[in-house]
Chain A
Amino acid sequence: AQKITQTQPGMFVQEKEAVTLDCTYDTSDPSYGLFWYKQPSSGEMIFLIYQGSYDQQNATEGRYSLNFQKARKSANLVISASQLGDSAMYFCAYHRGGSARQLTFGSGTQLTVLP
């Protein structure tokens, strides 16, 4: 079974600075996908970014980028120019290819952006 590890239960960052949230995964699947979701205090899960295991380039979506290191099995989320509204819980999730489409989640990182 896949295991997703987020080793940072809590992180603090100063407004306008960049922050990296760590995610490592353990899998023997030949192909897979990695997602990051944001969960603000209101509770909804917001999709941020996706990286496929065969993608040649690191994924980017606005201020979010994914530092994908396949050999190290890591998929760290980088948020540039942090904003107060970025304060939230962030989850890394794994998705196996084929018909098994459920997500396997890490334990999450609570990010707090300081003014």
Chain B
Amino acid sequence: EAGVTQFPSHSVIEKGQTVTLRCDPISGHDNLYWYRRVMGKEIKFLLHFVKESKQDESGMPNNRFLAERTGGTYSTLKVQPAELEDSGVYFCASSQDRGTGSFYNEQFFGPGTRLTVL
């Protein structure tokens, strides 16, 4: 079974440009999460999809970030326009939906996209 995949693995862009990151979750996983780690800081939650719906986007830093999940399958995270402080590693994770009554919720992570904004 394929794991979570992310594309591209690296992206180098200039300030003001647009970048789109893609995540393909494990097949059958309804939950999809985006996290990021900026240099020297903790991994921070960005948002959570359940199928195609945004369950929680409280971690999105500002309106330059737009996440979509088409048909409840893959997800994209667009940064427009990119700023220097957006540099970091963006992780995607997915998990099965075990229902709200179930507590255990192992998240499987992708390898991350390293974004560098110059």
Cβ-neighbour of B107 out of A4, A31, A47, A97 (below 8 A): A47
A95-B105 contact in complex given A102-B33, A102-B59, A104-B45, C-beta closer than 8 Å? yes
Number of interface residues of B (CB under 8 A): 28
Distance in angstroms from A93 CB to nearest chain B CB is 8
A44-B107 contact in complex given A99-B55, A101-B31, A107-B42, C-beta closer than 8 Å? no
Convert A11-47 into 0s and 1s, putting 1 for each residue whose CB lies closer than 8 angstroms to a CB of B. Answer: 0000000000000000000010101010000111111
Does the CB pair B45–A103 fall under 8 Å?
Answer: yes
Q: Which residues of A contact B114 (CB under 8 A)?
A: 43
Report A73-95 residues with CB < 8 Å from chain B CB.
91, 93, 95
- Does A100 touch B at the CB level, under 8 Å? yes
Interface residues of A (CB under 8 A from B): 4, 31, 33, 35, 37, 42-47, 50, 52, 91, 93, 95, 97-108
A-B contact pairs, 29 of them (CB 8 A): A35-B107, A43-B112, A44-B109, A44-B110, A44-B112, A45-B93, A45-B109, A46-B109, A47-B107, A47-B109, A50-B104, A50-B106, A52-B104, A93-B43, A95-B105, A97-B103, A98-B100, A99-B100, A101-B31, A101-B48, A101-B55, A101-B95, A102-B48, A102-B56, A103-B43, A105-B43, A106-B42, A107-B41, A108-B42
Interface residues of B (CB under 8 A from A): 31, 33, 35, 41-45, 48, 55-56, 59, 89, 91, 93, 95, 100, 103-112, 114
